[in-house]
Amino acid sequence: MIDYLLRQKERISRSLDEYLRVELRELFESHPFGTDAATRLYDFSSRGKMIRGALVYLGAELYGYQGSDKPTTRLAAVMELLQSFLLIHDDIMDGDTLRRGAPSVFAQYERLGIDRSLAEPRHFGEAMGICAGDVAIFLATGLVAHDDVPVALERRLLRLISTEIARVGLAQMSDVYHGVYPEQVAESEIIDLYRYKTGRYTFSLPLMCGATISAAPERDIETLGRIGEGLGVVFQIKDDYIGLFGQTAAIGKKVGSDVAADKKTLYRTYLFERASASDRDHLATVFGASEPSPEDIAFVTRCMHLYRVVDDVENVLQNYADETRQSIRNDIPDMPENGREMLEQLLEYNLNREA
Amino acid sequence: MIDYLLRQKERISRSLDEYLRVELRELFESHPFGTDAATRLYDFSSRGKMIRGALVYLGAELYGYQGSDKPTTRLAAVMELLQSFLLIHDDIMDGDTLRRGAPSVFAQYERLGIDRSLAEPRHFGEAMGICAGDVAIFLATGLVAHDDVPVALERRLLRLISTEIARVGLAQMSDVYHGVYPEQVAESEIIDLYRYKTGRYTFSLPLMCGATISAAPERDIETLGRIGEGLGVVFQIKDDYIGLFGQTAAIGKKVGSDVAADKKTLYRTYLFERASASDRDHLATVFGASEPSPEDIAFVTRCMHLYRVVDDVENVLQNYADETRQSIRNDIPDMPENGREMLEQLLEYNLNREA
């Protein structure tokens, strides 16, 4: 499955390149920072695996799509532009200067500010990053209205995208709040965030867009949305695991950055519930510290095992995976058998990936 | 003209209220910060004069539109949501804590952060403000796909909006850069910014959307776009004047905030070109100062008159007004006479307004 998804990247990249460098060249050239921004957006987008874009093709294939790859490719590029916008803005909010194995976009502009001796280069970088993200959004919506996308599908696609990304923004507000709120976050609220922010956005939206292009029944598209939520919960719990226990080179961002940002993961909730008073006091100084030391991170890791947090979160993960697997098998009987198998493979990938 | 525009506000507000509080209630209620964000967006939007929204009705009326006011009202609400998003993000970039006579949106969230004793309330406020602006965008695009907007026009409207707002974002990058770049900005570059950021966005876009709803000829819609640029240059020069010489209560933001932000206005460019070395040195300490004193602002005002900057910028303003007036009279012969008169009234309003 992952090979199938990764193989789509080339045509999405090519399409994005054509859109940004050829079709929109005049627009960018009429602004001093335009061509530079287009290049940064292209480069930034290209450094991702483009899984969300690839899921548009999968969504269409679930229903045996045999049409031109123009609409799917354009929609895939829309997904990737939206993903870039979200990451660009998120990195400003979280202060993450490293992303996809390179400086994040606001950090690139901060560097530009330093090189040109501008006052307050950090603030300059953040402001330029906000703009770059905003521009990416309207490049994405413009692409929904592209000639390659059947006009008859535009309304449904635009509604899907608008609703789901508005949802991401609202979920991101909770995420920001939890990032600085010193209290525990309840398990149910964390799962809701995973469902809405990762699930509906990363999985439901592109799969639903692809299924829409493939003229899937409206009812199935809704069910796919719910299956996407389950895929997202599984993906995100695994992502938290990798964020805590992975290596910088493999994950493309700094190990411990989730700890530094005090991300309210399920791991963290369980850990603070179970740790002894003295361990909890120590942990409280590490989570949210601006630069946790390697020793601090190692301490967090030790506690995660000591208090059986890793095992129990793994159980939660398996339960969501089971539920989603059942839903794939039973709740979309109109989907071709081959499509259900592909969805199950996607679930297994989310469950077993290591980076 | 201004009375006509201000009269439209009530139905735009009502429509926005219905959209945010009724149609989208379920979406907002499923997120902890959703209903709160909807209320803030509604209140923030309502405090504006809603001129951009009103210009959608005008754009339609230019061509004698007699249809339902549903599509125009929905598009007007789209314009106001986009305006709110832009102001919310701009205020973060400029650090403006006051807007429309009340705390700006990020400042409201900063206050929330202070009230709840969160760490780094300023950064919290900015992050929440970025999210609120992002959400406003997708509420706006969702409204373009609303049942009330004829599906046959959706593609053209979405393209117009996508292109023009992408342009605003690119122009805003230049604005941000000039805000911290210590050098003079050439007159031509400033005029380009006014043309793209204020002109095409504030005037061209809503007028073009309205004319599209009224089925105006494609060629006229393009010409309207160029006329909007002229209207914008006139509006923006006047806006700079008001920002420099108006009163806090009348303009809804702090007097001197454009000086503090070191906004690269035409006034500033002329002033620094002409001031004596010693006056220039003094001026350089005032422009970009975090909190210029009333005496500093008074000194800026005196120099503006002393060096005949006010008079000469006024001449530039009149030249653009003349050119735009000629274009209204000669370049859109297919527009009904009544429509051309309304456009001219709009120009005269931009030229003569005092707040």
User: Which phi and psi angles does A62 have, rounded to 5°?
Assistant: -55, -30
- CB-based contact B162 A182, cutoff 8 Å: no
Q: Enumerate residues 144 to 163 of chain A having a beta carbon within 8 A of any beta carbon in chain B.
A: 144-145, 151, 154-155, 158-159, 161-163
Alpha-carbon dihedral sign for residues B221, B222, B226, B232: positive
pLDDT in tens for each of the 355 residues of chain A? 889 999 999 999 999 999 999 999 999 999 999 999 999 999 999 999 999 999 999 999 999 999 999 999 999 999 999 999 999 999 999 899 999 889 999 999 999 999 999 989 999 999 999 999 999 999 999 999 999 999 999 999 999 999 999 999 999 999 899 878 777 888 998 999 899 888 999 999 999 999 999 999 999 999 999 999 999 999 999 989 988 877 655 555 566 777 887 788 999 999 999 999 999 999 999 988 888 888 998 899 999 999 999 999 999 999 999 999 999 999 998 899 999 999 999 999 999 988 7
CATH class of the domain at B185-355:
mainly alpha
Q: Where in chain B is the domain with CATH 1.10.600.10?
A: 1-149, 185-355
Query: pLDDT tens digit string along B258-274?
Result: 788 778 899 999 999 99
ipTM above 0.85, yes or no: yes
Disruptive mutation site among A131, A172, A189, A197 for chain B (greatest number of B CBs within 10 Å): A131
CATH H superfamily, domain A190-355: Farnesyl Diphosphate Synthase (1.10.600.10)
| Distance of alpha carbon A256 from alpha carbon A262, whole angstroms | 9
Select the residue of A27, A126, A128 nearest B173 (Cβ to Cβ).
A128
Select the residue of A27, A145, A159 nearest B166 (Cβ to Cβ).
A27
Residues in chain B where the model's pLDDT stays below 70: 247-255
Q: Where in chain A is the domain with CATH 1.10.600.10?
A: 1-149, 190-355
- A73 inside 8 A of chain B by CB: no
Confidence (pLDDT) at A2? 87
Select the residue of A28, A155, A196 nearest B154 (Cβ to Cβ).
A155
Q: Contact, A334 vs A217, CB < 8 A?
A: yes
**What's the number of CA atoms in the CB half-sphere (13 Å) around residue B250?**
11
Smallest CA–CA distance from A150 into chain B, residue: B155
Confidence (pLDDT) at B208? 98
Give B33→chain A minimum CA distance, Å: 7
CATH topology of domain B1-149: Farnesyl Diphosphate Synthase (1.10.600)
Please list every residue in chain B whose beta carbon sits closer than 8 Å to the beta carbon of residue A127: 92-93, 176
In this structure, how many other beta carbons lie within 10 angstroms of the beta carbon of residue B316?
16
DSSP 8-state assignment for residue B120: S
Give A166→chain B minimum CA distance, Å: 5
| Distance of alpha carbon A287 from alpha carbon A272, whole angstroms | 11
Confidence (pLDDT) at A27? 95
CB-based burial, B185-195: b 16+ in 10 Å, e otherwise: beeeebbbbbb
Please list every residue in chain A whose beta carbon sits closer than 8 Å to the beta carbon of residue B96: none
Select the residue of B167, B181, B196 nearest A118 (Cβ to Cβ).
B181
Disruptive mutation site among B180, B183, B212, B264 for chain A (greatest number of A CBs within 10 Å): B180
Between chain A and chain B, the number of residue pairs with CB atoms below 8 A apart is 189
**Helix or strand holding residue B102 (H, E):** strand B102-103
**3-class secondary structure per residue, chain A:** CHHHHHHCHHHHHHHHHHHHHHHCHHHHHCCCCHHHHHHHHHHHHHCCCCHHHHHHHHHHHHCCCCCCCHHHHHHHHHHHHHHHHHHHHHHHHHCCCEECCEECHHHHHHHHHHHCCCCCHHHHHHHHHHHHHHHHHHHHHHHHCCCCCCHHHHHHHHHHHHHHHHHHHHHHHHHHHHHHCCCCCCHHHHHHHHHHHHHHHHHHHHHHHHHHHCCCCHHHHHHHHHHHHHHHHHHHHHHHHHHHHCCHHHHCCCCCHHHHCCCCCHHHHHHHHHCCHHHHHHHHHHCCCCCCCHHHHHHHHHHHHHCCHHHHHHHHHHHHHHHHHHHHHHCCCCCCHHHHHHHHHHHHHHHHCCC
B3's tokens: 């009375």
Query: pLDDT tens digit string along B21-67?
Result: 999 999 999 999 999 999 999 999 999 999 999 999 999 999 999 99
Q: Contact, B244 vs B267, CB < 8 A?
A: yes
- CB-based contact B32 A189, cutoff 8 Å: yes
Strands A98-99 and A102-103 come out as: antiparallel
| Distance of alpha carbon A148 from alpha carbon A71, whole angstroms | 6
